[in-house]
Amino acid sequence: MSNSNRILIVDDDPMNCELLEMWLASAGFADVDSVYSGSEALLHVKDSPPDLILLDVRMPEMDGLEVCRRLKADATTLFIPIILITGHNTHQDRLNGLRAGANDFVARSVDEAELLARVNVLLENKRLYDELRATMRERIEFISQISHELRTPLFAIHGLTEMLLDGEVTQPDEVRNYLQTIYDQSGHLSRLVDDLLDLSRFERGAQTLKYETLALGPFLDDTVALMQPLAHARNIELRLLAVPRQLLVSVDEGRLRQVFINLLNNALRYNDEGGWVEIAVQSESNAVQISVRDGGWGIGTLDMPHIFRRFYRGALAQQRKSGAGGAGLGLALASEIIRAHGGTLTAQSEGVAGRGSTFVVTLPRTVT
């Protein structure tokens, strides 16, 4: 199997490089480069950082220890694991290597199996480390997004309350308008916080579902009835195609309702007046597929890979908000809820306005 990790070999003797390249190639490493001096190595690492470096200690001009020291002193290359190849791997060799910051050492006489085993251990550590760094970055970004989302309604509530307290607004109609905005904005804040708490519980696996056996037909009838007022208000035809009778699923009803309200809400909002939304159910031997299809604005190819990410709002959604704009948490939460049920939530769209989008919820079927 091909291994996509990038490995850099640094050795002034091309024969040594060739041998290592051969071993790595036979173990499936497809991205291996060799350079023949310390200064070339530093340039190469800057241009295309590898996932691991095999570094000969004894080289003319700049030796391996110096290369190692320089890479470990630079915050951008510090995390690339380095295996030093020493002459005899003596106590003094290892000590020098450790002081230069090397992650591991092998003697020039090392055999293929041991070298590959050491390479794999360090690559696995690097993978875990990269994952951790990506998670940290995501968390930091997440905190700044939350702060931004909370700030806008808080700012409005604070500003309007201040104006009311200062007596700047006295006309009863105006006072009422201000109070209404404060009420709406605080409702928005509270929904946002609820969604965030829900999302974090699902992501941590700390949310328990209250499973019950549910007849899908009546459940979808009720959900559609709940959404009809919004459909009427936007002059959109919302229809539910016939659901096979006695189609049962084992689900948390409240949570499943939350998912469909979100999907329908989106289908109705990202749609023009006079449009349509259709729910269809398909049952297979061990799964049920419920699709929510709309003939609305569709999802652009640039947006598609991101729509399930927290706080992600598509380009069109940001430009042409119809009705209250969401915070971009709905689909993230919906997909976590469906995943907790052992199902999947997927999206399809050609990205062409008028051809709309389809969201498909697949749930395990309860066999009767």
User: Of 17, 80, 216, 327, which one interacts with ligand ADP (CB under 6 A)?
Assistant: 327
User: Among the candidate windows 51-59, 163-171, 207-215, 290-298, which touches ligand ADP by CB under 6 A?
Assistant: 290-298
User: Among the candidate windows 95-103, 149-157, 205-213, 325-333, which touches ligand ADP by CB under 6 A?
Assistant: 325-333
Residues 147-166 that bind ligand ADP (CB under 6 A): none
Is residue 266 near ligand ADP by the rule CB under 6 A?
A: yes
User: Among the candidate windows 117-125, 195-203, 327-335, 336-344, which touches ligand ADP by CB under 6 A?
Assistant: 327-335
3-state percent helix, strand, coil for the chain, nearest multiple of 5? 50, 20, 30
Q: Which is nearer to ligand ADP, 285 or 319 (CB)?
A: 319
User: Of 279, 330, 335, 363, which one interacts with ligand ADP (CB under 6 A)?
Assistant: 330
For β-strands 3-10 and 29-35, DSSP reports them as: parallel
Q: In this structure, what token pair is assigned to residue 212?
A: 């019950």
- Residues 163 and 130: their CA atoms lie apart, in Å, by 50
Q: How far is CA 163 from the centre of its chain?
A: 41
Is residue 360 near ligand ADP by the rule CB under 6 A?
A: no
User: Among the candidate windows 72-80, 121-129, 221-229, 263-271, which touches ligand ADP by CB under 6 A?
Assistant: 263-271
User: Of 53, 55, 65, 331, which one interacts with ligand ADP (CB under 6 A)?
Assistant: 331
Angle at 315 between CA 309 and CA 320, to 5 degrees: 120
- Residues 271 and 279: their CA atoms lie apart, in Å, by 15
Which DSSP state fits 106?
E
**φ, ψ dihedrals at 224, nearest 5°:** -65, -40
Is residue 294 near ligand ADP by the rule CB under 6 A?
A: yes
- Residues 139 and 121: their CA atoms lie apart, in Å, by 27
Site residues (vs ligand ADP, CB under 6 A): 262, 266-267, 270, 294, 296-299, 303, 307, 312-314, 317, 326-332, 357
